[in-house]
Amino acid sequence: MFGVVVCPKCHRARGADLSNQTTRCAHCSHVIDLSKARVYARTDSKDKLPEAVRRMTEKLAANIEDYPAERKRPVARAPQKEKQPRKADSMNMEELRTLATELNRGKDHFDVEDVRSSLGTVSDEDVNRLIDKMLDRGVIFQPQAGWFRVV
């Protein structure tokens, strides 16, 4: 069985005989561990391998998401993640006020953790952006550092 793998170092596609343990990248000489490498296409025929490698090379050029997980360059952010709108940016005044009121319900104040748990899985940055936006729009105020209250 032959397959197309992508070098984790230089991110170029290459064909490999999958019965081998490793294959050496022709571009950067990195030894690719075939037992760990993701195989993007498989073929029984060695003759079909160059075509499969060529297609993978085209895909890599067109779509950054097909790069292997080992890729660590700062530009490696998957475009899909960027498409998700930031919670804070997508909320209008009405929604901000509703959320703040909800957070403050039955309580004297709420804090960063309350905001975080209300949003589900979001980054610290997102939580802070949302709080900043609510403060900025005058939806909430900060009676004490880290405490927030609906205006």
- Give the footprint of Zn ion on this chain (CB under 5 A): 7, 9-10, 25, 27-28, 30
The tokens for 58 are: 């085209």
Output the smallest distance, CB 9 to Zn ion, in A. 5
How near is the Cβ of 3 to Zn ion at its closest, in Å? 16
Q: Tell me whether residue 71 or residue 86 sits nearer to Zn ion (CB atom).
A: 71
State the nearest-atom distance from the C-beta of 146 to Zn ion, in Å.
49
Say if CB 34 and CB 25 are below 8 A apart.
no
Measured from the CB atom, the residue of 21 and 45 that comes closer to Zn ion is 21
Nearer CB in complex with Zn ion: 30/129: 30
**Alpha carbons 5 and 12: distance in angstroms, whole number:** 8
Closest approach of Zn ion to the CB of residue 151, in Å: 57
Name the packing angle between helices 93-104 and 112-119 (round to 10°): 120
Q: How far apart are CA 49 and CA 51, in angstroms?
A: 5
Q: 10 or 93: whose CB is closer to Zn ion? A: 10
Q: Nearest CA to 131 among 115, 149, 107, 118? A: 115
